[in-house]
Structures are given as C-alpha cells and as structure tokens.
Amino acid sequence: MRIDLHSHTNCSDGTDTPTELFRRAARLGLDVLALTDHDTAVGWAEAAAAADEVGVEFVPGIEISTSHRGRSVHLLAYGVDPEHPELAAMLHGIRGGRAGRLAAMLAKLADLGVPVTEEQVRRMQGDAPSLGRPHVADALVEAGYVADRKEAFDRYLSDTGPAYVKRWAPGVADAITAVRAAGGLPVIAHPWGRGSREVLDADTLRGFVAAGLAGWEVDHNDHDPAQRAHLRELAAEAGVLTTGSSDYHGIGKYEHELGCNLTDPDVWEEIRHRIG
C-alpha cells in the first residue's frame, strides 16, 4: 500500500488541478492520497470524482495555517466538516489575512526595485480561494525578476526575506479545538521544518496532545533522518500517530514528488477508522 497524506492543487498554491493530481497519483501507483490545500476544501469535490475514476482512495483534508509564538505552524485536518460554523469562520478569517497582507508585500517589493501589481498576482492566483506567497513568487517570475519560485523565496519572500509580511492566524490549540469540533483529526505538518522547529519543542508538542492533537508528520522532506528518529520517539512516548507525505505542490515546489514519503498502512487504517 502506497499512502501519501498531504498534497496541494491550484485551489491553493499547487499547480495541478485536482483531476491532474489524482491522475498523476494513479500513474505513480499510489493507493491513497489526501488533498490538503491551504485553508480551503474547495478542491474536494473534483478530487473525489477524479479519484473514483482512476481508482485511488481520496482522503479529504485541509492544511490550516496556525501560529505559535509568532511562528507559522501548519495543522493538517483530516475528515473535517469544512462547513462546521466554528471551523468555517476560522478558515474565512485566515484567508482574509492572506489577502490582507498583499498590499504591504507589494509595497515592499516596489521599494526593493521589483514592482508587481495586485492584478498580476491575482491572475497567478486564478480561482484559488487561498492566496499565498507562491502566487506573488509567480508574478515575480512572470515579470522576469527571478527564474522560479525558489529564487523568489530565497531573495524576497521567505520568512526572513525583505518582502515578508506576517498575516493573521489562529493559535494552534484553538485550531485543534475547532478541528475536533468539526469531527476531524488534527495532525501537525512538518513540525520541525522551516520556521516552526524553534517553537515546537517536546513539551509544547505534549501540550498540544493534551489539547486534542492526534499526531504529527515525521517522514517529510523538511526533516533529516535524525529529526525523523527523534520525532518518532516523541510520538511513541506521547502515544500519538506519525505520518509521512510528499507535500506535493506540482511544479511549484521541487523535490516533493507525489509518494516521495509514505504513511504506514497500519497508521492509515487507524486514521481511516477515526475519521470514518
């Protein structure tokens, strides 16, 4: 069984449509794939239909942008009801914060000598309800300032870059509570990846388990082998699940091919049982 529990489409900042995503999953021999776009479930219906067609099991998910001590923490929510009022309001607020920071980012980019317009960025966003820095990166690429998204992040848009602007996000514990209320299973994405590592020490993770966290990603390309071993040990101590995923974004993110990391079939059975 090949199980990948974290991927993106052009409903947020990936580049494949949900249909393309599931066709690719079938070609690559995946059995199970979760679609976890940032802060939206809008791709689920198309993904479910495409998954049916190609014979891959679709897992509904959302990657929720939360924060802890000023750092960005991503919370995967499997099997949630996105219309649950508390969660829907939270997601709406997060997407509003995403859009709200755009003007400030564009002003910084103009000051840095690489002006792009809101109209250009919105064209890159297309119909995606969730605006992200990768769309700003795409506008910089189109304008010819940088070669690709990676260079745009390295020079301007990373969390420590000169054009970075913070956006509103709910606290991790509040998001865990909202996900549970909406019938979902909350799992922290790449806890020791970029940004969140400094704020997610063992005690903090244990605190989130007490608040209802079901587990965390271990096998993710942002984690090296030593981090994976340590995260697995902490999860065993805390009695929570560990998952693996590609965090595939299409051509928007390199070295994250679908299926490059997988979730253990026993863990998947447990997750399926709990969200069923």
150 makes contact, choosing from Fe ion, Zn ion, ligand AMP, none, with CB < 5 to 8 Å by partner type, with ligand AMP
Pairing of β 185-188 and β 215-219: parallel
Contact, 110 vs 58, CB < 8 A? no
Q: Least distance from C-beta 208 to ligand AMP, angstroms? A: 20
Neighbours of 199 (CB within 10 A): 16
Does residue 228 touch ligand AMP according to CB under 6 A? no
Q: Is 16 in the site for Zn ion (CB under 5 A)?
A: no
Q: Is 17 exposed, middle or buried (0-12, 13-18, 19+ CB in 10 A)?
A: middle
Nearest residue (CB) to ligand AMP, 65 versus 120: 65
Quick one: what does residue 189 bind among Zn ion, ligand AMP, Fe ion, none, with the CB cut-off 5 to 8 Å set by partner type? Fe ion
- Under a CB-based contact definition with an 8 Å cutoff, are residues 95 and 130 in contact? yes
Classify strands 241-244 and 215-219 as parallel, antiparallel or unpaired: parallel
For 153, 240, 258, 264, the CA distances from 250, given in Å and listed in that order, are 17, 30, 9, 23
Quote the CA–CA distance of 97 and 114 in Å, as a whole number.
Answer: 23
What is the DSSP secondary structure assignment for residue 251, as one 8-state letter?
B
Among the listed ranges 139-147, 162-170, 184-192, 236-244, the one in contact with Fe ion (CB under 5 A) is 184-192
From the list 93-101, 133-141, 188-196, 256-264, the region that binds Fe ion by CB under 5 A is 188-196
98 binds Fe ion (CB under 5 A): no
Q: Residue 4 interacts with Zn ion (CB under 5 A)?
A: no
Q: Is 68 in the site for ligand AMP (CB under 6 A)?
A: no
Identify which range of 9-17, 49-57, 68-76, 81-89 contacts Zn ion by CB under 5 A: 9-17
Phi, then psi, of 215 in degrees rounded to 5: 165, -170
The correct pick among 5, 6, 10, 13 for binding Zn ion (CB under 5 A) is: 13
Residue 256 contacts ligand AMP per CB under 6 A = no
Using the structure block, give the residue that is written with the tokens 């059975």: 269
What is the maximal distance between C-alpha atoms in the chain? 53
Binding ligand AMP by CB under 6 A: which of 6, 149, 190, 223? 149
Is the CB of residue 258 less than 8 Å from the CB of residue 25? yes
Which residue in 68, 74, 180, 253 binds Fe ion (CB under 5 A)?
74
Find the shortest distance in angstroms from Cβ 16 to Zn ion. 13
Residues lying near ligand AMP in the complex (CB under 6 A)? 13, 38, 65, 132-134, 149-150, 153, 158, 249, 253
Residues lying near Fe ion in the complex (CB under 5 A)? 63, 74, 189, 247
